[in-house]
Chains A and B, each alone.
Chain A
């Protein structure tokens, strides 16, 4: 029970099921796999970004530049396609741009030792500006149908891109959970000095985290171009905060070393589900952010209090053998309750 309570993925999953139940109770017509597939389809971009953000957050960094990277890569893909290159080549080009953008973030953070939030704040503006300079502020239109067909449903309401997202999710989850390569990310974020002492390639791991984040953002950019069919010049702005919010909902700690990709997936899915449910209920769009904020804060407060209680409980158990059993509760609780423990 305690383990179940501790795992944030489960609480995010419970929230998803709960919201789905509310939807179904109010309108039984929506009880189908189609509804879920529809939500998943509109959540894919956020899921990709949340997975990338997870890698960075696991190493105790943060990347607020992904919104601009998405825009830059969507433009890169669109420009290459309109210049007459083939689809795979254009996608490779966009991925290369995204990877480079992520790598540059890594250079700033790892080699130049700039705090991650400051460095990526700078590149947030830089990449957006690069994108606007590239296109002269114009939209990119007239993308070929071959790109758009990649996000049309194929089997079970899933598009080729949807399957790719699921495949990446499982592959990356396995890598993170089971291989030494994946555990390095956790080690670096949990305790950098200890990880170095253990022989983890600390700098390489952080570089990889930022570069993979760039690649995920590039994939999200391609997906955006494919879903919408054109690329506006403000593509992706605001997505960086949403991706981080999804990660936080899914239980990935900003202090590094905790969280799973599945959690990020659930968090992103849930955030999108709120929007979709509001649309299905025909509530005006201005409710979206308000409710998303309320839910996010509610989860955070619940989780923060729960973890504080758990820590207090563990501490009480740890010290209980040093104090007389009678006065145990009285002696321990007032002392530990003063301790302020940062949890996320």
Chain B
């Protein structure tokens, strides 16, 4: 408990330091409106990283979420193009996202193959389905499906109490997930499932049922971020979510989730998502091209993980150092 708390505080300190550093390089970064509004660019990373954290805690992984986002976005575009009413289209998009998640869970349950392999397969399946849909709808290339009603495209740009709507949604979702993970029985069960799924089975937990729930959550979150992305960009493309998987995984891991399952923190993931997002924004503002900034978030991941690895294996390193010094003394004498 104390360690996890420490980690979250550390992340918060890194986040503040990062913003101050970029603020020193470019004072516009410190403008409070700028800080709030620029979150819309990257907040979807956080929205999918939260349920992904839960899945990682349970000992699984879902790498198909980028494709799920693309599929949901294209499906939404196609439905709007066909002139379906907005609420129906939104509802069906959420349903499609959930279905994608449920298919993942069903395949994992049915075959007993590791989630990484199954979601690798569905990564191609959903991505291919998205391409197929956009191809059939005649929206090839980078233009995608556009021409959405104003009410929908303005949605992502509205503000609520001075906060952009996507950020508010992120905050609400974070709160919900935090409550679910750290304050309910379900959350506890997820942790046990990740620690030792056999023990969870013997404790009469519905391990397979929880599997469906967790992957469905990832699917729904992917659909939500697809809706936000389509609304924000004003067009539906099949490759909308392609660049979201790696940052989302980075956020979950940076936030303290153990990739082997059994530990993790929702608050940590939320902070790490902001950390990764502001890093990209800040670098852009300092004048580093977009592509390079994604590389530097890779470097950030490595540095932070090395730091954590060193602090976790402090004893081993100390022993090795002592051994080394002892040897030197022996050879010196």
Q: Which residues of A line the B interface, CB within 8 A?
A: 62, 108, 112-115, 117-119, 121-130, 132-133, 137, 233, 241, 244-245, 248, 254-255, 284, 286-294, 296-297, 300-301, 304-305, 308, 340-344
Known: A287-B128, A300-B111. A121 touches B298 (CB 8 A): yes
**Minimum CB distance partner of A301 in chain B:** B111
> Can you add 4 more A-B contacts, CB < 8 Å, to A125-B246, A290-B129?
A126-B298, A292-B124, A293-B124, A308-B111
Say how far A309's CB is from chain B's closest CB, in angstroms.
11
Known: A286-B131, A300-B113, A343-B113. A125 touches B121 (CB 8 A): no
Give the number of A-B contacts (CB < 8 Å).
161
Which of B110, B295, B299, B305 interacts with A301 by CB under 8 Å?
B110
Stretch from B172-180, B183-191, B226-234, B286-294 that touches the partner: B286-294
B291 lies within 8 A of A254 (CB): no
Q: How far is the CA of A287 from the CA of B310 in the complex (A)?
A: 47
Which of B128, B131, B291 interacts with A129 by CB under 8 Å?
B291
Q: How far is the CA of A66 from the CA of B259 in the complex (A)?
A: 20
Known: A113-B309, A113-B313, A293-B122. A128 touches B294 (CB 8 A): yes
Q: Which residues of B line the A interface, CB within 8 A?
A: 63, 107, 110-114, 116-118, 120-129, 131-132, 134-135, 140, 201, 246, 249-250, 253, 259-260, 289, 291-292, 294-299, 301-302, 305-306, 309-310, 313
Say how far A313's CB is from chain B's closest CB, in angstroms.
15
A117 lies within 8 A of B259 (CB): yes
Q: How far is the CA of A115 from the CA of B56 in the complex (A)?
A: 13
Q: How far is the CA of A264 from the CA of B78 in the complex (A)?
A: 38
**Minimum CB distance partner of A131 in chain B:** B295
Report whether over half of chain B's contact residues are helix, strand or loop; otherwise say mixed.
helix
Known: A115-B260, A343-B112. A132 touches B295 (CB 8 A): yes
Q: How far is the CA of A321 from the CA of B120 in the complex (A)?
A: 41
Q: How far is the CA of A287 from the CA of B132 in the complex (A)?
A: 6
Q: How far is the CA of A126 from the CA of B120 in the complex (A)?
A: 22
Known: A248-B120, A292-B128, A342-B114. A121 touches B250 (CB 8 A): yes
Q: How far is the CA of A344 from the CA of B112 in the complex (A)?
A: 8
Q: Which residues of B contact A288 (CB under 8 A)?
A: 128, 131
A300 lies within 8 A of B117 (CB): yes
Known: A121-B246, A287-B132. A297 touches B298 (CB 8 A): no
A290 lies within 8 A of B309 (CB): no
